[in-house]
Structure 1
Amino acid sequence: MHCFAYQWATKITKSDAYKERQSNKVVMSAMAPAADKKLTGLVAAAFTPFTAQGEINVAEIGRYINYLREKQGVRSVFVNGTTGESMSLTVAERKTLAEAWCLKAKGKMDQVIVHVGCMSVKDSQELAHHAAQIGADGIAVIAPSFFKPNTAEALKKFLHEVASVAPSLPFYYYHIPAVTGVNVLGRDLMEGIEELIPSFRGVKFSGEDLMDFGQCVSYSKPHWSALYGVDEQLLAALAMGAHGAVGSTYNYLGCHFNELISAFEKDSLDQARTIQFKVQELLSYAKKLGFDLGVNKQLMNEVSGLCLGPPRLPLMPCPPERAQSIMKKYHSIFPDC
């Protein structure tokens, strides 16, 4: 099923979402605390499903989970992150989405990591406390990007204030300097952080500085995870010692990246490079046409057959002709999909 931006017509009202949340409250409260297990392998940075009217559409999350498991071999998700347009969502919407993912992924996904970062430390704390209540497997926090922490110590203090309200949950720092403008090195952030945040379990490193990433890996404790977030450079990150990866393209290219990881682990570097180069060819082509989150989301719709809706303003829907062009390229590179 192909879903262009102007074709989405599924509608869930706010009252419907509220009713679903209310009916799930008993189940949520009964969920056991998250198991503190090391996060490894591929983690899909989940898109937020929207209706054509721009409301969140939790009804699509069940199909989404089944698709990731059955078609892509991806069994962990990162919810309400950059790919999920978290900064364009209200706190209430983020709670609704987190609840739906945790409930519907139970018994199907290995881990659900909920991103709770906001510009306001109070909003971040509210979301972190909520994530603990609904049985999330971990939380992540991005650096605030309006009033920016300009030192590692300032950033650590912000992260500590958020982590302190959910001390039982594994805590991950979400490092994405190109978006936040916060250029604190990941390695500097990790220095002594476990003394301040005992629940610290690693970093989602969405930056291109492989030296800094390597230093993060080198400094990591055995129970931490250094997760790489630039999909087109995953092979290089694996060579640096990445324990796993969080990314948007794993939503629809996960099966290929799983093959890449398997080939790397078997020392079949030629095979791993071949897969990485194919991914780079696709993304390079898409970037030349204009590859933003709206295009990325539409590509997911086209490949998966899910209807995740358009992005929310100020992002614009993908022009249909651009989606068709990228899909043609996709099928030429991955003809068996």
Structure 2
Amino acid sequence: MSVMAPVAAKKLTGLVAATFTPFTAEGELNLSEIGPYIDFLTEKQGVNSIFVNGTTGEGMSLSVAERKVLAQAWCEKAQGKMDQVIVHVGCISLKDSQELARHAAEIRADAIAVIAPSFFKPKNADALKMFLQEVASVAPTLPFYYYHIPAVTGVNVLVRDMLEDIETLIPSFRGVKFSGSDLMDLGQCVSYSPPHWSLLYGVDEQLLAALAMGCHGAVGSTYNYIGCHANKLISAFENGDIVRARKIQFNVQELLRYAMKLGFDLGVNKQLMNEVSGLSLGPPRLPVIQCPLAHAKSIAEKYHSIFPEC
């Protein structure tokens, strides 16, 4: 294998936790929580892969320097404990994305992912592919994933269109984190994908539908604290016990429906993780507003009433 050939990585399947970024009360990085965080995921939730510096991790609110420090800390602390660390390197600036991609290769991340730029938006699939190609080209040894989240980016390019001949442009391309609700587009992506790609779904309350469509796994924020139950959902589905899988999915939906009535957003989600895990992940960074403690406690009570201990 040549030096520039993509690393032969194990196919990414199962649950991937989209990690929150630990902050101090003053809003600075709190790297001391990363080790205990990883232990909580592996020992309490049965989640062995992570997606860092993404939406849940407030990656777009962090400086490039902060994202480098975080990525390195996650990779170092996860070594020997987790299967894969996927580092999100997407930015509005192409040059910043490339800098983060190079750094991810230097710290031996298992893969990188890139979100579509959201200020000057790619107008079509070809423009999006050109942007992704430029980022991937500076870290050709790392498996590369496209992170599709149109509700946040406003980029509504069909992923299936973007996938057309993508591996010709990006030999290291290995799949999609599909955080959209268009199940037709998702299904067409699964249908088009070769065996070595991974289609990972990112709308946690619709995981069962994605599994039925043929997704290979899922990346989400709720897997930080309901990972053990989502694993049971996946096992039930794989064993043909659709009734049980459906019951667990409905429980997830019941929790999120309750949370949404209280204004469920990243700030609430992060505080809920604090309440459930016992970790000290701190507040979110502005412009995300810190969750009222009473709301988080109320949602945590709902969580404990729905989900038994694993």
TM-score (norm 1): 0.89
Displacement, 1:335? 3.8
Aligned to 1:316: 289
Tell me, in whole angstroms, the C-alpha distance in 2 between the residues paired with 1:325 and 1:36. Answer: 42
AA of the residue aligned to 1:221: P
CA–CA distance in 1 between the matches of 2:171 and 2:136? Answer: 9
Asked whether 1:199 is paired with 2:159, we answer no
| Residue 190 of structure 2 corresponds to residue 217 of structure 1 | yes
Deviation at 1:336, TM superposition (A): 3.2
- Determine the C-alpha separation between the residues in 1 that align with 2:267 and 2:59: 14
Partner of 2:125: 152
Say if 2:162 is the partner of 1:189: yes
Gapped regions of structure 1 (runs ≥ 5): 1-32
The 5 Å alignment of 1:217-296 reads 217-296=190-269
Aligned partner of 1:252: which letter? Y
Number of the residue aligned with 1:26? none
> Following superposition of structure 1 onto structure 2, how do residues 1-337 of structure 1 map, counting pairs within 5 Å?
35-336=8-309
CA distance in 1, matches of 2:163, 2:79: 31
**Post-superposition shift, 1:274?**
0.3
1:10 maps to which residue?
none
Distance in 1 between residues matched to 2:283 and 2:275, nearest whole Å: 12
Deviation at 1:122, TM superposition (A): 0.2
Separation of aligned partners in 2, 1:39 and 1:182: 25
Secondary structure in 1 aligned to 2:11? coil
Residues in 2 aligned to 1:148 and 1:310: alpha-carbon distance in whole angstroms: 30
Structure 2: which amino acid aligns with 1:165? V
Q: Deviations over 1:22-45 (max 9, x none)?
A: xxxxxxxxxxx9651211000000
- 1:321 and 1:62 map into 2 onto residues whose CA distance is 28
Q: Is the 1:34–1:138 contact (alpha carbons within 8 Å) kept by the matching residues of 2?
A: no
Distance, in Å, in 2 between the alignment partners of 1:324 and 1:121 is 40
TM-score (norm 2): 0.97
Aligned residues: 305
Q: 2:223 and 2:297 mapped to 1: Cα distance?
A: 20
Q: Aligned AA for 1:302?
A: E
Secondary structure in structure 1 of the residue aligned to 2:210: helix
Provide the C-alpha distance between the structure 2 equivalents of 1:64 and 1:292, rounded to a whole number of angstroms.
21
Code of the residue aligned with 2:273 in structure 1: it is: M
Q: Could you say which residue in structure 1 is the equivalent of 2:3? A: none
Identity across matched positions, percent: 79
User: Structure 1 CA distance, aligned partners of 2:269 and 2:10?
Assistant: 30
Unmatched 5+ residue regions in structure 2?
1-5
Shift of 1:327: 1.2
